[in-house]
Structure 1
Amino acid sequence: MRMRPTLSWTPTEDLPPGTADVGPVAEALDGGGVLVLSGAGISTESGIPDYRGEGGSLSRHTPMTYQDFVGGAQARRRYWARSHLGWRTFGRARPNAGHRAVAAFERHGLLKGVITQNVDGLHQAAGSEGVVELHGSLARVVCLTCGALTSRGEVARRLEEANAGFEPVAAGINPDGDADLTDEQVGDFLVVPCAVCGGVLKPDVVFFGESVPPRRVEHCRELVRGATALLVLGSSLTVMSGLRFVRQAAEAGKPVLIVNRDETRGDRYALSRVALPLGAALTAVADRLGVPLDGQEAGAPANR
């Protein structure tokens, strides 16, 4: 019979120093019922950059805001040109050891669920099933007029047909799938309308300046309430959308454990922060627990 974790958390103003000891993470997982909260850092080993880590895209890129997107056709042209190019890179991304470890922990009954701030679909491609996509998914497109949902693959096909020969070279790709292109490279890129009503299409993701749907937030809060511990993977916790769940867990006396190479906004709530690359850290945890990282998840594409 699996023992419940004996880890405890005491509020402190002193930030826990980064450590290479994965023992507390393994202990929490061994008790079962752990909720994972993942951020962009878990996908960097799959070739998708993060926002705020070393070389993060925010140092050179300003993400599209919801207000800009709905405010003008030219902003939407610029966004869709860049996102269409970035989608090709996301389509080639594969789950890494960190994603495979999370899927393996789930298969072995150690997790309450997974909340991800990422929109890349790599957790699901690795085989995870209980995933809540806090910020939505690039694999879906929604019409802002009629609400119809379309697969990103279908919209990409229509954009390819409407923009034959569109092959610019991007300066970089960002975690939201937005490629860095100049206005000259965007040119007269043609945006396709909703095939149902002719309305404006938008990826089914939460843009900067847009709120996470309240029902989704409440579902995540319910997962936190039912978890034995919260394990944060690769998130700086800079924005409140993820930090609120860390605060909730800590206020309820649940252990918070963080795996992130850099300091995070949630460190003061954490029992421990493992300052190792995600793949290496979670592989070490799996080894301690005797959980093999094999199965159907290995090498699956992110966008099926």
Structure 2
Amino acid sequence: MFPSYWASNEADFLGINNVSSDLQLVSLWLRKAKSAVVFTGAGISTESGIPDFRSPGGVWTKYRTVYFDEFCRSAEARHEYWSQKSEAHTEFAAAVPNVGHHTIAQWEASGLIRGVITQNIDGLHQIAGSQDVLELHGTAREVSCLDCDARFPVAPFVEQFRTTNQVPLCPKCGDGRLKHATVSFGQSLPEKVFERAHHWCQEADLVISVGSSLVVYPAAGLPELAKRNRAKLVIINRDETGLDSMADMLVDGSCGEALAAIHAAL
């Protein structure tokens, strides 16, 4: 079943009276695919109100970058890091999945896709109902201790920092360095997650890239790998991407609207 905001006639509800022939073709590829994967980037989450940190006014444009090695060795850098993350947490906490997230979750539940590979750290795919989500850059919904590997929900620690202006310490080991469970600059991607994503893309016969600029490596290399292994590559994005020349189909526009239109054509 679709979420409650879906009408029985999805196309009418979304104002899709004439699904384009391009999106009808994508829906045909999706129906016929034996191992389809959806790859997502910031563009799908901006439609839920989460700013792209690289955009003007985003967190990365207002603050200096705190590199992983600096975080590890410097208390001052850890304080700067927590200041930035506590500000960004406001948008994450308020955001809810949009029609694009829900559509992808429905495709997985229906067996149309193998799962989701995402560059996003907001957890909106899981909230929408997606079960098999490979988070290449980790999750901002949790913090992890660099010293004992314990993990905890993030909200209480953000509130603690906002109240005390002191970097929280790990409650399990006592004085461990707590960091959001995300990949910082200079930090390696989670090896096991990336290996699974690599395997999925090696086996994929269709990859639908949604809202990613496809310029950040090694993540962007995954759709490229699939394409080089003869998968079809569909790119849905408002702007040009690093892999446009390789795509079998380019869709310029809203991620949610495009995904809903493809679904309406199924």
Shared topology, TM-score over 0.5? yes
Partner of 2:169: 193
Kindly state the Cα deviation for residue 27 of structure 1 after the two structures are TM-superposed.
2.1
The size of the alignment, in residue pairs, is 245
Q: Which amino acid aligns with 1:87?
A: H
Kindly state the Cα deviation for residue 84 of structure 1 after the two structures are TM-superposed.
2.0
Shift in alpha-carbon separation, 1:80–1:220, aligned structure 2, 3 A? same
Alignment of 1:141-156 (within 5 A): 141-156=143-158
Q: Which amino acid aligns with 2:169?
A: P
The answer on whether the counterparts of 1:90 and 1:120 sit within 8 Å (CA) in structure 2 is yes
The two structures have a TM-score, normalised by structure 2, of 0.85
Aligned counterpart for 2:67 among listed residues 65, 68, 73: 65
Distance 1:213 1:85 in 2: 25
Shift in alpha-carbon separation, 1:103–1:63, aligned structure 2, 3 A? farther
Q: Which amino acid aligns with 1:38?
A: T
Q: Where in structure 2 are there 5+ consecutive unaligned residues?
A: 1-19
Q: Where in structure 1 are there 5+ consecutive unaligned residues?
A: 1-18, 164-188, 290-304
Kindly state the Cα deviation for residue 268 of structure 1 after the two structures are TM-superposed.
2.0
SS at match of 1:245: helix
Report Cα offsets for 1:47-102 as digits up to 9, x if no partner.
Answer: 11124568766555544321332231111112112312322321110101111111
Alignment of 1:20-59 (within 5 A): 21-32=22-33, 33-52=35-54
Partner of 1:166: none
Partner of 1:299: none
Distance 2:200 2:265 in 1: 26
State the Cα RMSD in Å. Answer: 2.1
Report Cα offsets for 1:81-136 as digits up to 9, x if no partner.
Answer: 23123223211101011111111111221101100110000001111111111111
Partner of 1:132: 134
Kindly state the Cα deviation for residue 227 of structure 1 after the two structures are TM-superposed.
2.1
Distance 2:58 2:241 in 1: 14
Asked whether 1:82 is paired with 2:84, we answer yes
Bigger relative CO (Cα 8 Å, ≥ 6 apart): 1
Kindly state the Cα deviation for residue 249 of structure 1 after the two structures are TM-superposed.
0.6
SS at match of 2:22: coil
SS at match of 1:237: coil
